[in-house]
Structure 1
Amino acid sequence: MVARLQSFLSASSQPAATVVSTSAPQAPERPVAEAIQATPREVDDNGLSELLLEAFQIESSEHFGSIREFLGTCPAYDVDALNEAYRCAHSLKGAARACSLRAIERLAHRTEALFAAARDDGIPLDGPVLSAIGRALDVMEDCGLEDKDPDSVAGCTELLAELERLRAGVEVQPSAESSVDSRSGAGTVETVGRTVASAPTVEPIAPDEPFQAEDVPTPTRPQRAPRKSQGVDTVRVHAEDLDRILHSTGQVLGECREQTRLEANVRGLGSRLLVLQKEWEFLRRSLGRHIHSLGGDSVLSGVGKYLDLQDREIRLLRRETTELMQAQKRSVSSLRVLGHQLQNSVRRARMVPVEAVFQGFRKMVRDLARDDGKEVEFRARGLQVFVDRMVLQALKDPVMHMLRNAIAHGLEEPSVREANGKPRVGTLGLTAEVIGDRLQLSLDDDGRGINFDDIRKKAVASGVAAEKAAALATKDLVGYIFQAGFSTARSVSDLSGRGMGLSVVHESVTSLQGGVTLQEKDGPGTCFVISVPVSFATHRLVVARLHDQVFAFPAHAVERLVRVPLSHARKIGGRLTISLEDRVVPVVSLAQLLELGEQVVCAEDDLLSVVVVSTGTQRVALAVDALLDQRDAVIQRLDPPAGWNRRLAGVVHLEDCGLVLVLNPSDLVERSSAFDCVDSFKSRASVPAAPEIPTVLVVDDSSTTRTLETGILETHGYRVVVAADGIEGLKKLRAHDIDVVVTDVEMPKMDGFGLVAAIKKDPVLGATPIIMVSSLHKVETQQRGLDLGADAYIVKSRFDHQDLLDTVKQLL
C-alpha cells in the first residue's frame, strides 16, 4: 500500500519510466482503510513524507499483528497461514523501503526469507526460529518511524545474522534476550539451551544489497484473490462533541417519558369523557321519554332536536379524542424508538477495540521484565472486543500499574522459578471480556502469589490496622492491599517500594463506577479482576428517597431491594444486621454515610426499606426512606469541588426529580465498616389512615416488585398493604378497608386470574377496582383478565410508574 502511494504521488512530478515486469508474481497487498484526502499537486516533499509515514504506521501495525497471530499457532500451522505470514513480511519490507526505514526493511527481508525457507525448504518453525522472529518484530516496532541504520540499532546486526543462520538451517545459541520473548504470540515460549560446537560460516547479505522482486521465492501454491478494497469515509470528531450529542439524546428520551405522561393524561381525559357520555346518554333518554309523553309541542320538539345535536357533538368529541390518543401513542412510540436508535449510534461511534488503546503493553512488559532480570511471556486475549474509548483511556494507567506490580511482586527470577520446579519463563496474562454491559479485565500471573503473612505484619507495623489484624482471616486482609501508602516491598526500585500499592488502581476504577477484586485461581500466582461499564453512555439506575432528597444507585451494584421488619434485625458485634439468604448483612443508614443533618431513618410500620449494595465479596444494606423507581439516564461527571467527593459518581437529570446525585457504591461499602448505626433507626408506630388517604393492596410473589410498587405508591401518598399470593391477598382484602387492588398474574397457590374471579364473586368485595400488572403481554391474556372483571391491565415490559399512578387515580 505504501509503495503504491509513493508511486502514485511521485508520478505527478517525474517523467514516465519503463517498468520491467518479472516472472515472479507480486504478493497481494492487504486493503487498509485510509483517510488521505490530499491530491499529488497539493503535497510537497514534507507532506509526502508525512503521508507515507502515516500510511506505514497503519499498515505495519496490521502486519505485525498478523505475523504474531501466526506465530501463536506454531509449530502447528497450515500452508495458507504460512503464506499469509510470508506475504505480510514481504509487504512490510516493501513499505519500509518506500519510507526509507532501512533497519525495518532489512529485518523484514530476513523474516520474509525465513518464512520462505520454512515453506519451500522445510525448515521447522520451532523455538529458536519463533524467538528470533518475535525479537525481530520487537526491534522493528522499537525503531518507530525513524530512519535508522541497522548498525545504529542495539542488537540489530546480531539479530540479522542470527536470522540468516536460521534460514540456512544452522542452530544458534540464544542470546540473553532470545528467551525473553514477550510478544511472539499466545503460545508457550521455548528457551534454547543447546550450543553448537562448530557452525559453518554464513556469508551475510550486504547492507546495500537491493531487494528486488526476483530475490523473492515464487509461492508454490496459488494465492487467494485479494478482496476488493471498499473505501471507508471517515471524519474526526471530538469526544466532547459526541458527549454533547449523547447528553442531548438523553434529554430526548427524557422528553419521551414526559410525552408518555401526557399520553396518560389524555387517556384520563378520554375516560372522563366516556363517563360524561354515558351520563349524557342516560339524561337524554330520560328527557326523550319525558318529551314524548308530553306530546308534539313545537318548543319541546326543538328541545329534542337540540338534544340530538348535542348527542352527535359528544359522540364526535369522543371519537376525535380516541383518535388523538392513538396518534399521541404512535408519536411517542416512534420518538422513543428514534431516540434509542440515535443513542445506540452515538454509543457505537465511541467504541473502539481494546487493543487500540492497550497495544503498547506488550513492549512495556518486555522492557520491564528485561530491566528487572526476569523472563516473561505476555499473553493477551480478547482484545478485539469493543469498549468506549473514554473508558479504555481511563483504564490504561491502572492496568499499566497492575502489570508493573505483577512483574515487581508476583513473578520470580528465572533461577528461583527453576528451583521451585516452575518453567523458567513466567506467564503474565491480560484477558478482556464483555459480560452484559460490563467490561471485565482479568490480570493473572503464575508467580509467587500474595503473601498474606507479610500483609498482616505490614498492616500492624505501619499502623494501618490495629493489633487485631493479626487474627484476621485471609479474605479480610485483601482490603489492605488497596489502601494508599501500603506496600510490602523491602526495597525501592523503578517498579516497586514507593508506597503506591494498588490504591491508585482502586481509586481510578471506583471513579469509573467499577470495582477491582482478587479472584481465586487454580495453580500458583494471582488473578485480579477489574469490572467497569462498557460505556459512559446511559446507565440503569435505582432511585430512592431519603428525607426530602432523591438519590440514585448504579443498578449493576444493587443486589436487591427489600423491606425488612426492624424487629427482625439483630445486633452483632456492635452493628445492626439482617439475614438475607442465610447470610448476615450489616445495615447502615445512608443518611449517616452521607453525613446529612437528620441521620435517623424511620421504619414505617416496623418495615425498613433497604438497598442491598455489593462490590466483590462485600455487601451492605443501605437504609432509605422509600424505594422509588428504576431509570435509564446519562451520568454526567461533577466538576470540582463536588467532583472530588468519592461518595459521588456523578449527577443525572430526571424530569420529575430534577438533578439527582448518583452515589458511588464502592466507596459507600468501604465507608460503611466504620459506622456503628444501631441507634440510627427508629420504628414509627402505625398511624390509622385518614379517611381521605386511599389504601392499595399490592399482591405479587416477587418481593422486589412488591417493594418497588409499594415505594411508588407510598411516595405519592397512598397507604399500602402487601400480600405474596392470591390466597393471602383475599385474607388481607377482608381484613382491611382496601380501595384498589394491584395484582400480578403468575403466583403460587392462587394466581391473579383466580384472585380476580374470587373478588368479583364476593358480594362484599365485588365492587373493588382491580389492576392487573404482569409480564404476560399477549392480547388473549389481557382480554381474559378484563373479562373476569379486572378494570385495567398493565404490561410490565412497558411498565412506567406514572402509568400505575394514573390508573390508580382514575379508578378511585
Structure 2
Amino acid sequence: MGSKEEEFQKRLLSTFKIEAGDHLKTISAGLLEIERMESPEGHLETVETIFRASHNMKGAARAVNMRDIEAICQSLEDVFDMWKQEGINRSSEVFDLLYHSLDVIRMLLSPLDGKEITIDGNKVSNLIERLSGIKTMRIYDTISFTRGESLLNKETILMSDADVVRIPLARISSLLLQAEELLSVKLLSSQHSADIREVADMFEIFKNELKKVCSKDESFNRVEGHIKSMERRLLTIKKSVQQYSRSLNRMVDNLLDDTKMVMMSPVSTVLEGFPLLVRNISNEQGKAVDLIIQGGGIEADRRILEGIKDPLIHIVRNCIDHGIERPEDRISLKKAEKGTIKIIVSQLDNRKLEILITDDGMGIDINMVRASAVSAGIISQEEADSLSEYEAMSLIFHSGVSTTPVITDISGRGLGLAIVREKIEKLNGSIILESHLHRGASFRIILPLTIATFRGVTVCVSGHIFVIPLINIEQVIRVKRDDLKTVENKETITLDNRPLSFVRLSGVLELTNIKRKTEDQDFIPVLILNGLDKRIAFGVDEIMKEDEFFVKGLGRQLLRVKNIEGAALLGSGKPVPVLNVTDLIRSVLKGSYATPELMAPEEKGVKPGKGSILVVEDSITSRILLKNILESAGYSVKTAVDGIDAITTLKTGDFDLIVSDIEMPRMDGFDLTAKIRGDERLDELPVVLVTALEKREDRERGIEEGANAYIVKSSFDQGNLLEVIRRLI
C-alpha cells in the first residue's frame, strides 16, 4: 500500500471513530431517556432516533471494514426495529445488555487510539446471540473481556473426544507449505542419484579405455589396485545414495499425502449455506425454486474450495435472477410451478474436479448477448452476425455484457460472469456455458483437486526450460514439418481430420528462435493445450520429461507477469518458470497466430471518462469513502448530506450522475429520485442508489421511483460501482 493510500486510510478511520463516538452518545442518551420515562408518550420518536443512529454507525463500520462493530450494530438495529413495531421491553436486564453492547463497541474502537485491547471473536458472537435473545428474553450472563490478552490465541484446544485435536487452520496451512517445499529436496535427491550413476558409468568407461591403452605398461599394475579400490568405493556410494534417495522419496510422498489429506474438505462445506441463499433470493424475487445438491461428499483442497465459493454463489444468484421464471410464467410455459437448480459435483480423475450447475429456466437469449456485446463496443454488428452460436455464447464472459436492462445488486452490471471466469482461471480451472432457450442453462467448471504441487511437463524453447501443468495438456504428438499447412497466413496442423491452429511457443513468449539440432529433423514436438474452451497446438524444441513440481509465486514485485504463473525448482536446484496456459492461449487469440475460427474479440477495458458526480450521503465516513473512490477514478465530485441539500446543490451546478443513499434525514433517497424525475431539466440525470436496504420491496420502489441502478452496501464493491457509472454516463 502506498503512502498516500495509508494516509487516506488513517484519515478515514479517524473520521469513523469521531462519527461512531457521536452515534454512541446519541444511543446512550436515548436509552437513558427511554428507561427513565414513566409514560410511553414520546417513546416512538426517541426509538426512531436511536434506530437511525445504529443504522448509520453500521453503514460507516462497513465502509472501514470493521465487521464486528457492523454486526453488533445490526443486532441493535433489529432490537430497536422490534421496539418500533411491538413496543419496548423495559426489563432492566435488557437495558443492561444494551449498555454493555455499547461498551463493547467502544472497546473495539480503542485500537484506533493505539490501545492494546483484544476481544475474542467468539465472545462477540455470543453477544450478538444474546441481543437476538431479547425477543424471547433469553438473557445470559454478562460477557467479560480482558485487556492485553487475546482469547483467540489458544493454539491447540482439546475437544471432548480425546482422539481429536483442534488446531488453527493457519498453522495447518503453514505445515502443508513446508511439506510441499520438501518436494524440491526430493527432486534434488533424485538428481544426485542420477548424477552418481552417470559418474559410475563414466568411471567404468574410463577404466576399460585405460586397460586398452596401458595394460602392457608395468606402471599400470601399480595403479590397478587403486583403480579397483576407487571402483568399490564408488559402487558403495552409488548404492547408498540410491537407497537414501528411495527412502527420502517415500517419506516425502507419504508426508505430502498425509498433509494434503488434512487440507482436504468435502465440497459440501462451501455448499452448506446455499439452500438458505436460494430460499432468500427466490423469496425476494417472488419465485419458487428447489435446490438439489449431489456429490457434496467429494473432497478437494480447502484452498480450492475457498476460491470457488464466490463464483458459485454468483452463478446460483444468476440462475435465480436471470434463469428461473416466476410461477405464473412457468405455468404458462407448461413447466412445473417450482423451478429447479442442480449442483452436481464429480471427480473426473485423480487430479480434476467437475462442478456442474444447471437450471430449468428460460435459458440465455443468444441474440440479446450479441446485442449487448455490440452495445458495449466489444465487437461490431458485422462481427456479431458472423459468430457461431457457440462463439456468441462465450461473449457472456466479457466485461460489460449483460442480458438484463435493470441494474440491481444481484445482476445487470455485466461484470459478474467476467469476474467468475477470472477467479476460476486463477485456480487453474475453466468454465464452459451451454444454454437452450426456454429449457435452461448449465455451467461446467473444471478445477484441479489440489494446488501448489502439480504434475507438469518440462519443455525446452529457444534454449530456455519451462514447465507446463499437465492438467492443461490434452495430447503430446510429433508433427512432420511437411504436414504444416497455411490457411490465410496462419499455420495449422490436422488432428483427428480437423484443422487445428499451430503456433511456436517461442513466438508467443517473444524469445529469439535459436536453431537447434531438432530444427534439422523432420518432426516437430507439439503439445495440444486447452484453455478458455479452446485447443491450440504449440510447437517446442524439445519435450523433456514429466514430473511433480512445487510452484511458488514470484513475489510482490512480480505479482502479475504475462504468460507466467510462478516458478518451480528442477532436480538440479535450478528455478524455471511455470507457464500460465490460459494466458498463453489468450495471447494467441489476441495476437497474430490464431486462425479466424479461434479469434475471440479482445476485451476492451474502457477507462471511465471524466464527469461530474454528486454524492448524497448523511454518514460522513461513507461520504468521504465514496468521494475518494470516485475522485481516484478521475471524476469531479461534490457532496450533499441529504436530499434537501442535494436539490439545492443541483440548482447551482451541472452534474452527469448522482450517487445517493436512501435513509437520510429531511428527504430520503426515494423522494430525491422522484423529485429529480419530476423536474424537466433533470429527468434524464442518472441516479444510482447505494443503500443498506436489502428487501425486495425497497428494490422495486427504487426502480419505480426512477433509479437507474440499485446497489446494496452489504455486497458493495468499488469496481462494480465504477463499472455501473461508466455504463450510465
**Paired letter, 1:452:** I
TM superposition score normalised by structure 2: 0.56
Aligned pair partner of 2:304 in 369, 383, 391: 391
| Counterpart for residue 442 of structure 2 | 527
* 1:349 equivalent in alignment to 2:262: yes
Matches within 5 A, 1:370-769: 370-435=283-348, 436-466=350-380, 467-519=382-434, 524-596=439-511, 603-605=519-521, 607-615=523-531, 617-645=533-561, 647-656=563-572, 658-677=574-593
- Report the CA distance shift for 1:397/1:675 in structure 2 as closer, same or farther (over 3 A): same
* Contact 2:452/2:550 (<8 A) preserved: yes
1:50-98 Cα distance to aligned partner (Å, 9 max, x none): xxxxxxxxxxxxxxxxxxxxxxxxxxxxxxxxxxxxxxxxxxxxxxxxx
When normalised by structure 1's length, the TM-score is 0.50
Deviation for aligned residue 1:312: 5.9
Counterpart CA distance in 2 for 1:542 and 1:515 is 20
What displacement does 1:395 show?
1.0
Shift of 1:504: 0.5
Distance between the aligned counterparts of 1:504 and 1:640, measured in 2?
Answer: 22
Residue 163 of structure 2 is matched in structure 1 by 231
Which of 241, 254, 260 aligns to 2:193? It is 260
Letter in 1 for 2:277: M
Q: Distance in 2 between matches of 1:381 and 1:409?
A: 23
1:324–1:605 CA distance, 2 compared to 1 (3 A): closer
> What letter is aligned with 2:164?
V
Deviation readout 1:600-646 (Å, 9 max, x if unpaired): 99954454333211136420112333322222111112334532235
Is contact 1:513-1:649 (8 Å) kept?
no
- 8 Å CA contact retained: 2:394, 2:433: no
Contact 1:380–1:431 (CA under 8 A) maintained in structure 2: yes
Provide Cα deviations, 1:560-586, integer angstroms capped at 9, x if missing partner.
Answer: 223323332222244221101212111
The 2-side partners of 1:146 and 1:355 are apart by 29
The residue type equivalent to 2:493 in the other structure is I
Give, in whole Å, the separation in 2 of the partners of 1:357 and 1:237.
16
* Partner SS state of residue 188, structure 2: helix
2:248 matched residue in structure 1: 335
Question: Which residue is 1:695 aligned to?
Answer: none
Amino acid at match of 2:389: T
For residues 392 and 237 of structure 1, what CA distance do their matches in structure 2 show? 14
Kindly report the root-mean-square deviation, in angstroms, between the aligned alpha carbons of the 2 structures: 3.6
Q: Is the 8 A contact 2:182 2:252 kept in 1?
A: yes
Residue 548 of structure 1: how far off its partner (Å): 3.3
SS at 1:673's partner residue? helix
* Counterpart residue number, 1:275: 208
AA of the residue aligned to 1:417: R
In structure 1, what is the Cα distance between the partners aligned to 2:340 and 2:587? 36
Q: Match of 1:234, as an amino acid?
A: R
Between Structure 1 and Structure 2, how many residues are aligned? 448
1:250 maps to 183
**Shift in Å, 1:274:** 5.6
Structure with higher Rg: it is: 1
Q: Which amino acid is 1:491 matched to?
A: V
Instruction: Give a deviation string over 1:529-578, Cα, whole Å, max 9, x none.
Output: 11111111311112222223222211111122233233322222442211
* Change beyond 3 A, Cα 1:603–1:263: closer
What amino acid is the match of 1:623? G
- Unaligned 5+ segments in structure 2 are 1-124, 140-159, 596-729
> Does the 8 Å CA contact 1:432/1:439 hold for their aligned counterparts?
yes
Check the 8 A contact 2:292/2:340 in 1, yes or no.
Answer: yes
Contact 1:591 1:600 in 2 (8 A): no
User: Amino acid of the residue matched to residue 461 of structure 1?
Assistant: S
- Once the two structures are superposed, residues 150-189 of structure 1 have per-residue CA deviations (whole angstroms, 9 ceiling, x without a partner) of 9679xxxxxxxxxxxxxxxxxxxxxxxxxxxxxxxxxxxx
Q: CA deviation at 1:445?
A: 0.9
Question: By how many angstroms is 1:351 displaced?
Answer: 1.4
Cα distance in 2 for residues equivalent to 1:552 and 1:657:
14
How far is 1:310 from its partner? 6.5
Q: Counterpart amino acid of 1:444? A: T
- Name the structure, 1 or 2, with higher relative contact order (CA <8 Å, separation 6+): 2
Instruction: Kindly provide the amino acid, as one letter, of the partner of residue 542 in structure 2.
Output: A
CA distance in 1, matches of 2:361, 2:515: 49
Is contact 1:611-1:621 (8 Å) kept? yes
Change (3 A) 1:514 1:321: same
Partner of 1:577: helix, strand, or coil?
strand
Q: Distance in 2 between matches of 1:565 and 1:457?
A: 44
Identify unmatched segments of 5+ residues in structure 1.
1-140, 154-206, 209-227, 288-302, 680-812
SS state at 1:357 partner: helix
Tell me if structure 2 keeps the 8 A contact 1:609–1:624: yes
Note the alpha carbon deviations across 1:7-27, whole angstroms, 9 max, x for none. Answer: xxxxxxxxxxxxxxxxxxxxx
Amino acid in the other structure paired with 1:448: M
Question: What is the CA–CA distance in structure 2 between the aligned matches of 1:264 and 1:530, rounded to whole Å?
Answer: 45
